[in-house]
Structure 1
Amino acid sequence: MTTATGSARLNFHKLAPGIYQALLNAHIAAKKGLGDPVLAELVLIRASQINHCAFCLDMHVKDARKAGVSEERIYLLNAWEEATGHYTAKEQAALALTEAVTVLTDGFVPDAVYERAAAHFDERELAHLIALITTINMWNRINVAIRQPIGGGA
C-alpha cells in the first residue's frame, strides 16, 4: 500500500492515454454542461466520499473552496440529508441522484429519486448531471485501484 506521499501502483495516464483523455474530455464536458460549479463540486465530493477516493476528495474539496463553497457545507456533505438547511432543494436532489447512481449494488436508481432530480433539472442538465456522476465514479474507481496518492496528479 502506498502512503499519501508515495507513488501509484501504475501511471494510468501514460499507460492508457487514449482512455485517460477520453474520460477527461467527458468529465469536462459534463461539468461544463451542468453549468453550476458549486453543484458540480458537491456531487464530485459526495461520490468520492462514498467510493473512499482520497485523491478525488482532496482535489474536489480544494476545487469546492475555490468555487466558494463554505467549510461548513463541505464538512456536512456526508450528512446532507440531515443538514437540509445547508443545501438547496436542487442540491439535495442532485445528491440523492449521486448516491443512487454511485451505489448501484442497492438496486436500480429508484423512480422517486430520478423524478426528484427531474423536477429541478431540465433534460439537458439532467443528462450532464448523470454524465458527471458517471465520470467521477470511473475516476474514483481508477484512482482507488491504482492507489493514486493525494496530490499525485497525472
Structure 2
Amino acid sequence: MVTSDAAKAAPTARAVAETVTDPELPMLTLADLGVLREVTESADGVTVSITPTYTGCPAMDTMRDDLVHALRRAGYERVDVRTVLHPPWTTDWITERGRAKLAEAGIAPPGPAPRRQAGPVPIRLHPPERRVACPRCGAADTDAVSEFGPTACKAVRRCRTCGEPFEHVKEI
C-alpha cells in the first residue's frame, strides 16, 4: 500500500512493475519479456507474480529484488513477489515491442515457439535447424555458431552475408 502522503501522485503498482528491466536483456522490461504476470494491490500490500523463462533461471532473484526495490521506492511498503510456474513461460509471450527492442539491440528475436506436447519431452542430440534472419542486415543466410550463448536462452549465430556474429533468443 502506498503511504498516505504519496497516495495521490503515486503511480499504480502495475505501472511501477512494468518499468523494471530484465537483468540479462536490459533493453526489455519484464512486461515486454512476458514474465510479469500479475500485480495486485490490497490493504496488505502489493503482490507481484512472475514466471521464469526456464527452470533454474539465475535471473529470478535479481528480478524479484528489482521489483521489490522499485515498488518500495514508489512508496509501496509491503511487497511480495511470487513465482508462478503454470502455465510455463514461452517466447510467444514476448511483446511485439519487446521483439522490436531485441532487434534494435542486434539480437534476433525468437520465431514462433514449438508446439508443446503432453508427457515426456524427447531429448535431441542435434537441435533442429532454425532459420534466423540477421538483425543487422536482414539476410536469412545465417549459421549457428553455438547453441549456447552468454545465457542459456540465447544462441550465437553468424550472418553469411555481412559476416557479423549475433545473438538469437531461442524459441521455447
TM-score in terms of structure 2 length? 0.26
Higher Rg: 2
- Whose strand fraction is larger, Structure 1's or Structure 2's? 2
Q: Which has the higher contact order (CA 8 A, sep 6+)?
A: 1
- Whose helix fraction is larger, Structure 1's or Structure 2's? 1
TM-score in terms of structure 1 length? 0.29
